[in-house]
Amino acid sequence: MKSPREGGEPPPVDCIQLKVPVIQQLYHWDCGLACSRMVLQYLNHLDNDEFQKAIQELQLTKSIWTIDLAYLMRHFGVRHKFCTQTLGVDKGYKNQSFYRKHFDTEENRVNQLFAQAKDCKVLVEKCTVTVQDIQNHLSQGHIAIVLVNAVLLLCDLCSSPVKYCCFLPIGQKCFCRSPDYQGHFIVLCGYNKASGSIYYNNPAYADRTCCTSISNFEEARTSYGTDEDILFIYTDS
């Protein structure tokens, strides 16, 4: 694929860590919305009343797909590019525990969003994204929302791994079994080539920027279930 960078831009720097605000999700299902808030605040586009209005207009409920986030960015006039391996819903997900509950009701809705994307000026492309593409993008001050398998994503800085099975409000007990796949959105905000690290904001937390190895990040973002979804966000929006 072509790099998300625009032509003529300089090569990426060796290390960058962008100051993207950390916003914690409120429920187990709204990590994508929390990531969208981080992006909009980073771009100085965040208005809480307008954000709530947009959620209602786009009918974003407890099942949020990456294509929903792309439509949300379009709503706010944010320049974006949604790269994925599957233009629609992979029918193989029907038997996965993570997708099973909402699959039948969501399949038609999500496929329709993909079908209407071009007419709605939502930029979607089926393509493969490399780590170099991501580093090039970040080096220009741009950021990205990435769908990962939270079961596999391990932060090198956190003293204990996040409870990936559910992100519940304090006081609610988790009775989940550890799944094979747990879809989770994060915001990429930097990298360090020397240490082979990727920096990201995890909406499961409210007080930190996380860091993992490129190899771990690649394992988590290319896991079956993610479609290798990445939503590139451009600051000149």
| Residue 83: CATH number of its domain | 3.90.70.10
Residue 4 lies in a domain: no
Q: Where are the beta strands (DSSP E) in 124-226?
A: 124-126, 143-149, 183-192, 197-201, 210-213
143 beta partners: 233
* Predicted local distance difference test score (pLDDT) of residue 186: 98
* Predicted local distance difference test score (pLDDT) of residue 169: 46
* Predicted local distance difference test score (pLDDT) of residue 2: 47
Residue 8 lies in a domain: no
* Predicted local distance difference test score (pLDDT) of residue 79: 98
Q: Where are the beta strands (DSSP E) in 85-225?
A: 124-126, 143-149, 183-192, 197-201, 210-213
Total domains in the fold of the chain: 1
Residue 136 lies in a domain: yes
Residue 73 lies in a domain: yes
Domain ranges, residue 126? 15-233
Residue 46 lies in a domain: yes
| Helix pair angle (66-75, 31-42), 10° resolution | 30
Q: How far apart are CA 198 and CA 196, in angstroms?
A: 7
User: Which residues are CB-contacts of 66 (< 8 A; sequence separation ≥ 6)?
Assistant: 32, 82, 84, 145, 147, 185, 227, 229, 231
Q: What is the DSSP letter of 93?
A: G
SS3 state at 83: strand
∠ CA 199-73-202, rounded to 5°: 25
Residue 1 lies in a domain: no
* Predicted local distance difference test score (pLDDT) of residue 10: 62
* Predicted local distance difference test score (pLDDT) of residue 177: 52
* Predicted local distance difference test score (pLDDT) of residue 180: 83
Long-range own/partner contacts, residues 37-42 (CB < 8 A, 24 or more apart): 38/187, 38/201, 38/203, 39/73, 39/78, 39/143, 39/145, 39/187, 39/233, 40/76, 40/78, 42/18, 42/143, 42/235
Residue 51 lies in a domain: yes
* Predicted local distance difference test score (pLDDT) of residue 8: 54
What are the Cα distances from residue 73, in Å, to 81, 122, 237? 10, 9, 10
Output the tens digit of pLDDT for each of the chain's 237 residues: 444 555 555 666 899 999 999 999 999 899 999 999 999 999 999 899 999 999 999 999 888 999 999 999 999 999 999 999 999 988 777 667 777 667 777 889 999 999 999 999 999 999 999 999 999 999 999 999 999 999 999 999 986 655 544 444 444 444 455 568 899 999 999 999 999 999 999 999 999 999 999 999 999 999 999 999 999 999 986
Residue 206 lies in a domain: yes
